[in-house]
Amino acid sequence: LAVPISACRLQDCLSANTYSPQKCEERMRQLYLCCQSMYETTDGRGESTACPMPSAVHRWLNLHPTSK
């Protein structure tokens, strides 16, 4: 699974930007999309310490639509 890789990239970004999440939104999106994919392929039963619960992933993605 790519979840741990996405989580590490997000952590690197947050560390490099003094924990300013707004500077790392694209990394957050990558992680949450990866988590969403995991939950979809496992019917919501997938588990990863890097992913919040499915409802939080869904809510975050709805609150942060892509601008592209």
At 33, list the tokens.
């999309």
pLDDT digits (tens, 9 = 90+) for 26-54: 888 989 999 999 999 999 899 888 899 99
Contact 10, 2 (CB under 8 A): no
Would you list the domain boundaries of the chain?
3-63
Going by pLDDT thresholds of 50, 70 and 90, the confidence category of residue 67 is: low
Contact 68, 26 (CB under 8 A): no
**pTM, whole model, 2 decimals?**
0.78
